């Protein structure tokens, strides 16, 4: 894509303690994308902490998670001299803008938002009243997100599939305002879909996710990381058996995170037989420590 003079924006919600699956699937690609954009456009990245209040009501926890995600992006290479990088709650104008946008936003736009509809469907399935447990923050989530986007004259919003509708709603709100004043008051944003990010398996072979308790923490201590790597699930094939690397969980994790030369060595060891799982775990551990020790520091 040509980013000449384009403003590209992405928001990340602080949701949980970060793990190397987040790094491989989201943080690293976002930073690399930012580097590309920076060469001839404007890259904006922020932590959407006020969006997170809808779900996280524990202030110290939210502060901690916000700090963690900001530190992770900076430690992993986001250059704040080149990318505009901020915490949403530090920009009060965004919340003024949200109030203004509300006055032009048809309520029907919110009724059709996927996240709200999914919450209603869940209530109906449980025999609860339609809006049980749904707060106005969730209901009007797309307006705050429109403010995030429209306040910066954003051309392109980099998002995953689940957020595309929110960008469309932002475009519709901008369109409604432009139509009202019969001129381009606000820039109409488009979305740029992130390719289906690489999914790293966790230590039990399911997708690495906090909710499965199978993560290798991004900023764990050496001993925590060692403990999780050593507990990666293995089978009981003999050390000398020739193995298909694609069947081996350790190999899949290594492929996501270790340098190519290490991955090649593990592949050969498995195919030929003779390389034990303990040895592979040590190689993987070393690769992870090499990748993250400095960033963690």
Does 155 contact ligand TRP by CB under 6 A?
no
CB of 117 to ligand TRP, least distance (A): 16
Sheet of 83-87, strands arranged across = 83-87, 42-47, 7-12, 156-159, 190-193
Nearer to ligand TRP, 149 or 258 (CB): 149
Burial label for 163, CB within 10 Å (0-12, 13-18, 19+), is: buried
Residue among 54, 83, 163, 228 that touches ligand TRP (CB under 6 A):
163
Sign of torsion over alpha carbons 23, 29, 30, 35:
positive
Residue nearest to ligand TRP (CB): 11
Does 145 contact ligand TRP by CB under 6 A?
yes
Give strand ranges (E) for 37-188.
42-47, 83-87, 156-159
CB of 217 to ligand TRP, least distance (A): 21
What is the per-residue burial (b if ≥16 Cβ within 10 Å, else e) of 221-236? eeeebbebbeebeeee
Does 149 contact ligand TRP by CB under 6 A?
yes
CB of 221 to ligand TRP, least distance (A): 29
Q: What are the two backbone dihedrals, phi and then psi, of residue 210, each rounded to the nearest 5 degrees?
A: -50, -40
Contact mark string toward ligand TRP, 22..61, x via CB under 6 A: --------------------------x--x----------
How far apart are alpha carbons 49 and 61 in whole angstroms?
11
CB of 42 to ligand TRP, least distance (A): 14
Nearer to ligand TRP, 148 or 155 (CB): 148
Of 250, 256, 262, 268, nearest in space to 287 by CA: 262
Q: Return the number of other C-beta atoms located less than 10 Å from residue 170's C-beta.
A: 26
CB of 171 to ligand TRP, least distance (A): 12
Does 218 contact ligand TRP by CB under 6 A?
no
For the segment 1-20, give every residue that binds ligand TRP (CB under 6 A): 9-11, 13
How far apart are alpha carbons 38 and 32 in whole angstroms?
10
Binding residues for ligand TRP, rule CB under 6 A, total 12
CB of 283 to ligand TRP, least distance (A): 34
DSSP state of 207: B
Does 159 contact ligand TRP by CB under 6 A?
yes
Residues in contact with ligand TRP by the rule CB under 6 A = 9-11, 13, 48, 51, 145, 148-149, 157, 159, 163
């Amino acid at each position: 894509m040509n980013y000449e003079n384009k403003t590209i924006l992405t928001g990340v919600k602080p949701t949980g303690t970060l793990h190397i699956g987040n790094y491989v699937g989201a943080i690293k690609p976002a930073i690399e994308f930012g580097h590309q954009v920076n060469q001839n456009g404007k890259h904006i990245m922020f932590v959407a902490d006020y969006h997170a209040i809808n779900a996280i009501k524990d202030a110290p926890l939210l502060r901690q998670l916000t700090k963690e995600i900001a530190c992770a992006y900076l430690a992993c290479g986001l250059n704040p001299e080149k990318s505009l990088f901020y915490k949403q709650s530090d920009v009060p104008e965004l919340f003024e803008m949200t109030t203004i946008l509300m006055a032009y936003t048809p309520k029907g736009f919110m009724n059709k938002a996927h996240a709200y509809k999914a919450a209603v469907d869940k209530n109906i399935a449980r025999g609860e009243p339609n809006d049980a447990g749904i707060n106005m923050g969730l209901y009007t989530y797309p307006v705050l997100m429109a403010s995030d986007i429209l306040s910066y004259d954003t051309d392109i919003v980099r998002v995953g599939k689940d957020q595309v509708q929110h960008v469309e709603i932002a475009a519709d709100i901008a369109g409604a305002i432009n139509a009202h004043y019969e001129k381009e008051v606000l820039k109409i944003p488009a979305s740029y879909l992130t390719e289906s990010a690489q999914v790293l398996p966790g230590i039990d072979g399911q997708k690495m996710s906090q909710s499965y308790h199978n993560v290798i923490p991004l900023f764990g201590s050496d001993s925590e990381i060692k403990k999780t790597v050593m507990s990666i699930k293995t089978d009981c094939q003999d050390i000398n058996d020739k193995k298909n690397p694609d069947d081996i969980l350790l190999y899949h994790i290594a492929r996501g995170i270790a340098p190519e030369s290490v991955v090649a060595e593990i592949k050969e060891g498995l195919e030929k037989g003779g390389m034990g799982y303990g040895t592979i775990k040590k190689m993987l551990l070393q690769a992870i420590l090499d990748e993250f020790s400095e960033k963690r520091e």
